């Protein structure tokens, strides 16, 4: 490890400890990640982003704190420092192994986090999904919130960016019109909000740690649907442990596509039309 003076100086200001060495970390799609070795012997991860949108890192820090409040919930790296320019987290030493025992524990922990609940549908402050704004203003019901805060804003943006065809957009809109009949009535769950495989770190401590939340109060099938959309090792074992702890409503597997529309549209906005076509295909199967 070498030492990047500017990164090290900012970290030292926030942590009150000397940075002995730094090293770039590969894999981030949005932020720049740097590994820090501190004079205290601790290792940390610092995330920065040039010209970050206002509130970007503050929203991430708030989400990490909110998830970490849950006793027995999904493990979250300790938040060491945060400001408008960065977040600094305790380092999670990862392993290439994905033991089934860790998957089972993760399923039970995710159920515990969801069961901790939220004050309503949404969150007091807006957030981000990737670099895109994530509106969180509360609604009276989950079907309303999912329609006007999750699906329709990104459907409009995907149209504006020509990332979805009119036919596929119409199929998505047809599903939106039926949400009140399609979705089971549940209390708001405490969601990670961006729970895909890349945000799940298999640690050498035998636990699955979650990072990069887009947290809010929502339907717990959102997190479940995203895990199924992008995959996770031993996912059937995760789901068995989850359902043993707090069973999902009957028919949850048939509803996965409903809650996959949101991440598919977000990806269409960020990465292009292949995801828009996939959203249209999923929607067409639901109508």
Q: Would you place residue 273 in the very low, low, confident or very high pLDDT band (cuts 50, 70, 90)?
A: confident
**pLDDT tens per residue across span 14-56:** 999 999 999 999 876 789 999 999 999 999 999 999 889 999 9
The structure tokens listed for 136 are: 């969180």
Domain 100-286 has CATH 3.90.1200.10: yes
Residues 232-247, mean pLDDT to the nearest whole number: 98
> What percent of the chain is predicted at pLDDT more than 70?
99
CA distance 246 to 254: 18
Q: Is 194 a catalytic site residue?
A: yes
In 3D, which of 102, 107, 97, 136 has the Cα closest to residue 120? 136
Q: Would you place residue 1 in the very low, low, confident or very high pLDDT band (cuts 50, 70, 90)?
A: low
In 3D, which of 181, 179, 129 has the Cα closest to residue 154? 129
**pLDDT tens per residue across span 100-118:** 999 999 999 999 999 999 9
In 3D, which of 107, 111, 44, 97 has the Cα closest to residue 205? 97
What's this model's pTM, rounded to 2 decimal places? 0.95
Cβ–Cβ < 8 Å for 192, 201: no
Q: Could you tell me where in the chain the CATH 3.30.200.20 domains are found?
A: 5-90
Q: Which of 29, 140, 194, 254 is catalytic?
A: 194
Q: Could you tell me where in the chain the CATH 3.90.1200.10 domains are found?
A: 100-286
CA distance 276 to 286: 16
Q: How far is CA 247 from CA 70, 106, 116, 240, 242, in A?
A: 19, 15, 15, 9, 7
**pLDDT tens per residue across span 208-227:** 999 999 999 999 999 999 99
The structure tokens listed for 166 are: 């009119």
Cβ–Cβ < 8 Å for 92, 230: no
CA distance 184 to 186: 6
Domain 5-90 has CATH 3.30.200.20: yes
In 3D, which of 106, 115, 117 has the Cα closest to residue 240? 106
**pLDDT tens per residue across span 172-203:** 999 999 999 999 999 999 999 999 999 999 99
């Amino acid at each position: 490890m070498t030492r990047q003076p500017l990164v090290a100086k900012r970290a030292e200001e926030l942590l009150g400890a000397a940075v002995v060495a730094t090293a770039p970390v590969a894999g981030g799609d949005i932020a720049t990640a740097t590994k820090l070795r501190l004079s205290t012997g601790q290792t940390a991860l610092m995330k920065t982003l040039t010209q970050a949108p206002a509130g970007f890192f503050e929203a991430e820090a708030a989400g990490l704190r909110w998830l970490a409040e849950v006793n027995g919930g999904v493990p979250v790296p300790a938040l060491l420092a945060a400001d408008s320019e960065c977040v600094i987290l305790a380092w999670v030493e990862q392993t290439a192994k994905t033991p089934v025992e860790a998957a089972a524990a993760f399923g039970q922990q995710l159920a515990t986090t969801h069961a901790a609940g939220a004050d309503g549908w949404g969150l007091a402050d807006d957030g981000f999904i990737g670099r895109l704004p994530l509106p969180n203003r509360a609604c009276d019901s989950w079907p309303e919130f999912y329609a006007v805060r999750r699906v329709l804003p990104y459907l409009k943006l995907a149209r504006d960016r020509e990332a979805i065809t009119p036919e596929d957009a119409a199929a998505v809109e047809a599903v939106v019109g039926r949400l009140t009949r399609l979705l089971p009535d549940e209390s708001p769950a405490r969601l990670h909000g961006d729970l895909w495989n890349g945000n799940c770190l298999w640690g050498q401590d035998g636990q699955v740690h979650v990072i990069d939340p887009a947290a809010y109060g929502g339907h717990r099938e959102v997190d479940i649907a995203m895990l199924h959309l992008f995959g996770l090792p031993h996912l059937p074992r995760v789901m068995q442990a989850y359902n043993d702890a707090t069973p999902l409503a009957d028919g949850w597997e048939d509803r996965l596509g409903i809650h996959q529309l949101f991440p598919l549209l977000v990806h269409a906005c960020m990465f292009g039309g292949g995801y828009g076509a996939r959203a249209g295909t999923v929607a067409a199967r639901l109508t």
